[in-house]
Structure 1
């Protein structure tokens, strides 16, 4: 494990997208290609069996030898050929191996990531349902604002996570076989090129695209975009959890195992460490996605350098996003909501958080411009409530400053978010 892997390579995706997984996927491609060639009679069953018996597992050795040819497919093919003979790599080019390996790695990584994301969303749905009417002070531009409910806050998290899952599923469905040979024509396979391609797609369990996509990289960019969107949704939730766990707010806390959330210098601290790690991992993703977008422009039939740049970027995108989702799910599983502190913070915020409501009420008799000026003047006074008695009786003021009466459609919005999430879950099953 690397020095930072405990934070930045956490959860199941890290292993599924690691170097060993990529090498395994490259070997799987070569094995499936041999079987496909045997399926159409290009090689014998014995030759295919020999290829299947050959393998390469030394990541360090392949990585070191990759420098000679500019990609790891070259040393892999040489090593397999030394073991199994010339039946290896029929009709393929290095990019076919690397692109299909990337697809295989991405597919299994996305499956795990989608599972973790669904668990996180289900937990958020529980929070939204349980706290649909738990009143909380609203905050806009870091300033106090009219009240909301914590259920509405969680519902906003939920719709973001569900949207991210939809984008990931869409990117997952676009992953496809790459097999076109040197220039995307499969010319070295003669009349059997398309038959081998069809058999190879079937062997790998991948869709067969309309044509090879050596220089048409929308699939890769779509994957990067879906991962970046997911990281953004996760990072937003994590950042809000961190802020609401702060000492000055204290409306949430992570109740983790002993020793979690401590400080090397301040023994009194209890940091929301899982949310902090989720935020850290999510922040790495946009820069990685930009590398993929910058690599979309390919020249001629196969590019020099553009597809090479994608390998570590896509790998890191999968690991960073997977880690962010893992940490968010961990944070949500530990999360404790302090409804009493939410109410206390709302009370401590003072009646000015209802200034909008009071202004609307006063506008009926003063007009909106005069009402706004009057409430602005009252808000600047030492006692907002007392200042309002110049314009309203105390019963009316008490009614206007009742938090439960000014959360608008928050409960209905929560209901709609939960219904949409439930619909997605039932459709998935």
Structure 2
């Protein structure tokens, strides 16, 4: 049983997204944090911060380390973050005499935030691919049915007849704009977070810059002049983008649900939800889910903006809030895009009988 509808054993059939969720799972989180620690050891070894034999030993040991998740759970309950317990697990795996070089110069936030960057890279690849599919679906729909006459509505009242292409373009073009915005989002989100205890990398001394560049190169992330431990505008911008994506899909879903009403009948769905009491109905479930997910992400967005408020150099409260909200917003966007694809594959515009 789960409190989240996205991985609930029943509701996930409606709202879940296994592909995006896998990127945000505990297993993916641990793997990404270990990738950071292995790359850190290699970079510090190459730049002369730690002995090369220690770097080699750490890299090899963490490549096959068996991390005890129960110990991580106990540790996060005690420390508020998972990294102290993870470092203990890593040191146990590396053993003597090199365990003291594990995690050298880094802090918990470096590991967690960079691990998130690594996982978000795959999430954004998935979302980008799905957006391209949805745009293609809408282009195909316009080619097939763009000339069909539909009734435009302003303020829920019939206005004037317009071609279906007018409505379809109002669904497609926002998705195209969001797709174009993605590269700027990636520039701000797919970055290395590396600053040590208070963002100064004080333990690395004059080698800090070299290690940062080396580490960023190994992980395929953008190096920053300084860590953004308390500067969360990139994460908030990503959340805003996710809400824009689901919001635009929600507008499409709302239009389709209205047009599919029996009394309107401007579109027909070849598949939909059945009713336990009224077997004649084809409920516009996909369209409704798009509206739901749009409202869900719009609601969570305000929380992500609350997480911008970090006191001083790091906030446990704001940071924890971000962990609670951002993954759900990403899964909601993934589900919305997947749902939109299926919905568009089932829709056809109905020619007027007149």
In structure 1, which of residues 211, 221, 224 is the aligned counterpart of residue 239 of structure 2?
Answer: 224
Q: Is the 8 A contact 1:128 1:152 kept in 2?
A: no
Question: Which whole-Å CA distance do the structure 2 matches of 1:76 and 1:298 have between them?
Answer: 24
Question: Which whole-Å CA distance do the structure 1 matches of 2:268 and 2:75 have between them?
Answer: 50
Q: Is the 8 A contact 2:146 2:165 kept in 1?
A: yes
In structure 2, which of residues 24, 28, 36 is the aligned counterpart of residue 29 of structure 1?
Answer: 36
User: What residue is the counterpart of 1:79 in the other structure?
Assistant: 89
In structure 2, which of residues 88, 104, 117 is the aligned counterpart of residue 103 of structure 1?
Answer: 117
Trace 1:21-60 onto structure 2 (pairs within 5 A): 21-52=28-59, 53-54=61-62, 55-56=65-66, 59=69
Deviation at 1:242, TM superposition (A): 1.8
Indicate the RMSD between aligned Cα atoms, in angstroms: 1.8
How many residue pairs are counted as aligned between the two chains? 339
In structure 2, which of residues 152, 160, 165 is the aligned counterpart of residue 146 of structure 1?
Answer: 160
Q: Is the 8 A contact 2:148 2:349 kept in 1?
A: no
Q: State the SS of the aligned residue for 2:100.
A: coil
Cα 1:127–1:86, aligned 2, differ >3 Å: closer, same or farther?
same
Cα 1:111–1:232, aligned 2, differ >3 Å: closer, same or farther?
same
Question: Which whole-Å CA distance do the structure 2 matches of 1:264 and 1:271 have between them?
Answer: 11
User: What residue is the counterpart of 1:16 in the other structure?
Assistant: 23
Deviation at 1:273, TM superposition (A): 2.4
Question: Which whole-Å CA distance do the structure 1 matches of 2:310 and 2:71 have between them?
Answer: 29
In structure 1, which of residues 275, 289, 307 is the aligned counterpart of residue 287 of structure 2?
Answer: 275
User: What residue is the counterpart of 1:203 in the other structure?
Assistant: 218
Cα 1:60–1:165, aligned 2, differ >3 Å: closer, same or farther?
farther
Question: Which whole-Å CA distance do the structure 2 matches of 1:24 and 1:143 have between them?
Answer: 54
Cα 1:183–1:237, aligned 2, differ >3 Å: closer, same or farther?
same
Cα 1:17–1:268, aligned 2, differ >3 Å: closer, same or farther?
same
Question: Which whole-Å CA distance do the structure 2 matches of 1:325 and 1:251 have between them?
Answer: 23
Question: Which whole-Å CA distance do the structure 1 matches of 2:36 and 2:110 have between them?
Answer: 9
Cα 1:11–1:155, aligned 2, differ >3 Å: closer, same or farther?
farther
Cα 1:56–1:65, aligned 2, differ >3 Å: closer, same or farther?
farther
Question: Which whole-Å CA distance do the structure 1 matches of 2:327 and 2:304 have between them?
Answer: 11
Question: Which whole-Å CA distance do the structure 1 matches of 2:18 and 2:345 have between them?
Answer: 14
Q: Is the 8 A contact 1:137 1:144 kept in 2?
A: yes
User: What residue is the counterpart of 2:80 in the other structure?
Assistant: 70
In structure 1, which of residues 307, 326, 339 is the aligned counterpart of residue 319 of structure 2?
Answer: 307
In structure 1, which of residues 296, 302, 317 is the aligned counterpart of residue 329 of structure 2?
Answer: 317
Cα 1:233–1:83, aligned 2, differ >3 Å: closer, same or farther?
same
User: What residue is the counterpart of 1:240 in the other structure?
Assistant: 255
Cα 1:211–1:271, aligned 2, differ >3 Å: closer, same or farther?
same
User: What residue is the counterpart of 2:13 in the other structure?
Assistant: 6
Deviation at 1:158, TM superposition (A): 0.9
Deviation at 1:200, TM superposition (A): 0.8
Mapped pair 1:285 → 2:297: yes
Question: Which whole-Å CA distance do the structure 2 matches of 1:79 and 1:284 have between them?
Answer: 37
Q: Is the 8 A contact 2:68 2:89 kept in 1?
A: no
Deviation at 1:337, TM superposition (A): 2.4
Question: Which whole-Å CA distance do the structure 1 matches of 2:58 and 2:77 have between them?
Answer: 25
Instruction: Give TM-score, length-normalised by structure 2.
Output: 0.90
Structure with the bigger RCO (C-alpha within 8 Å, sep 6+) is 1
Trace 1:340-351 onto structure 2 (pairs within 5 A): 340=351, 343-344=352-353
Structure label with greater radius of gyration: 1
Q: Is the 8 A contact 2:113 2:193 kept in 1?
A: yes
Q: Is the 8 A contact 2:185 2:238 kept in 1?
A: yes
5+ residue gaps, structure 2: 1-6
User: What residue is the counterpart of 2:4 in the other structure?
Assistant: none
5+ residue gaps, structure 1: 348-429
